[in-house]
Chain A
Amino acid sequence: MNWNDYRRAVDAIPFSADFQERTEELVCQTAQIAEIEKECIAMKKKGLIKAAAVAAAVALFTVSAYAASHWLSPAQVADMYGYPALAQAFESEDAVRLNQSVQTENFCVTLAGLVSGENLSGWTDQADQARTYAVMILESLDGTPLDTDDFSIVDYTFTPLVAGFTPWSVNNWTLDAGVSLLEQDGVLYYLLDTQNVEMFADHTVYLAFYQGTVPSQETFTMAEDGTISFVEEIEGPHALFTLPLGKSQADPAAVEQFILNSGFDREWFTTVSPDAGAAYTTRENEDENGSKHIEILPQPGEDTDFEETN
């Protein structure tokens, strides 16, 4: 195989010479149309937002019912990201509508909905991989509009955890997960797209929200029975939801495969030792703007029948 010929063949693909110019024009036109539509919607909603703020101050226990009237539904969140198949899935009978709310500091954290399926969003290229999707809502209790910059996905984490598995072994970083964040009317919506967590359904499966990045012993403790909870000293808004999964959804073989594919020792998944965390390394990348990206690096596994080629 001559890869120079391959490169020449790719270079010869007759893309439109004006593609960039046309695309930039299209972006500008679409942005203008969206701006006009947004202004119209904002004018229509003005009265509604005022009424909603008053209702929130009256009684907290009505949060769920009140929420239904002004929050975006999980399907609407998926739609806003341009995932119609996911939106449809959130509306289907298979979706779990939770609307479980937790007050933490001056905030209300709500797990809105959950659904599993294949190929419903754009995060992963693995079209045949079963995924779990969840929408979490964050808003202030006093009606102060929240901003994505203050609760960015760099500083806050929304991740699955599984009882009986150390928090640093089963989480967004090992489950090929992605979190997207959007703001609408001062309310923040987190969309989680993770490898299917139903395979762990014979354990308690959690969704955790907290300030910080990779789960560690500074944030979580795991009791002898495998139960996971936040450490007492934790700071910042945080919430831990338990997912209503049926044990029949569990797939121990898939969990076994997940452990094998990870490249980590089995003990790392199940044992909390005083030096837990030392068995893996994290790599912190920082760009010229000071933005950080942290990765958990697994040990090389057995799946290495490749040669480095250049």
Chain B
Amino acid sequence: MAPVGTEETICRLVREYSDMLLRLASTRLPSVSDAEDAVQEVFLRLLAAPVSFRDAGHEKAWLIRTTLHRASDIRRQAERRNLPLEEAAQTAAPEPGTDLLQAVQALPEKYGAVIHLHYYEGYSIREIGKLLGLPSATVGTRLARGRERLREMLKEEIK
């Protein structure tokens, strides 16, 4: 696969993956503008330092990992500055499942990412393992523990 570094190739990736990456970034960043910034930076990074992708799977995996990493960086920076990330989510119109979305956003990255990739994007445990570079068993464990944490968080909220 040709190195990704040309405008044309990156624009193809923007069209192909930006929706998925925005949703993924939103599992770490409740603020829409923060999520959009994170995803834009990922695409611009390809321009600054072209990556030779082995295949389409590697391409997608790189985009997902880099998006998660960048989103987590932005989140950590905001937390260091004590910016209330949650407020942005509260301004969104309440939808059924908003509490579950907020709970996923509150999970540690390692749980939130697999929960979202499995339950929203529909990837199997094995596929998530390939995307995140993790053994399937580890993904399965994270999925189970993530669900358990969500149950506890939502139970506490109802109480």
| B15 on interface, CB distance cutoff 8 Å | yes
A1 touches B150 (CB 8 A): yes
Residues A287 and B11 in contact, CB atoms below 8 Å apart: no
Q: Give chain A nearest CB distance to B100 CB in angstroms.
A: 5
Q: Which residues of A contact B116 (CB under 8 A)?
A: 10
A24 and B14 contacting across the interface, CB-CB below 8 Å:
yes
A55-84 contacts to B (CB < 8 Å): 80-82
* A122 contacts B144, C-beta separation under 8 Å: no
Q: Give the distance to chain B from A79, nearest Cβ to Cβ, in Å.
A: 9
**Across the interface, do B120 and A6 meet the contact criterion of CB distance under 8 Å?**
yes
Task: Identify which of A1, A9, A34, A154 contacts B47 (C-beta below 8 A).
Answer: A34
Residues 78-133 of B contacting A (Cβ, < 8 Å) = 92-93, 95-98, 100-101, 104, 109-110, 113, 116, 118-120, 124-125, 130, 132-133
List the A side residues contacting B132 at CB < 8 Å. 125
Determine the main DSSP class of B at the interface with A.
helix
* Chain A, range 235-258, C-beta contacts under 8 Å to B: none
Question: Please, what's the 1-or-0 string for A282-310, where 1 marks a CB less than 8 Å from any CB in chain B?
Answer: 00011101011101001011011111111
Q: Is the Cβ of B92 less than 8 Å from the Cβ of A12?
A: yes
Question: Which of A174-182, A196-204, A218-226 forms part of the interface with chain B?
Answer: A174-182
Within 8 A of B (CB), among A1-49: 1-10, 12-16, 19-20, 23-24, 26-28, 30-31, 34
Residues 135-156 (chain B) with a chain A CB within 8 angstroms: 135-141, 143-144, 147, 150-151, 154
> Is there an interface contact between B133 and A5, defined as CB atoms closer than 8 Å?
no
**A308, B141: Cα distance in complex, Å:** 10
- Alpha-carbon gap, A48 to B9, bound state (A): 32
B65 touches A306 (CB 8 A): no
Closest 10 CB pairs of A and B: A5-B97, A306-B140, A9-B97, A291-B55, A9-B101, A81-B49, A306-B144, A5-B96, A122-B69, A12-B95
Q: Which of A's residues lie within 8 Å of B, judged by CB?
A: 1-10, 12-16, 19-20, 23-24, 26-28, 30-31, 34, 80-82, 122-127, 148-149, 152-154, 176, 178, 180-182, 261, 263, 285-287, 289, 291-293, 295, 298, 300-301, 303-310
Can you show 5 pairs from A to B with CB atoms below 8 A apart? A6-B119, A123-B65, A300-B137, A303-B135, A306-B143
Given contacts A125-B109, A300-B136, 19 further A-B contacts (CB under 8 A): A2-B100, A3-B100, A9-B98, A9-B100, A15-B22, A19-B22, A24-B11, A27-B44, A122-B45, A122-B70, A125-B69, A127-B69, A181-B52, A291-B56, A300-B137, A303-B137, A304-B140, A306-B141, A308-B125
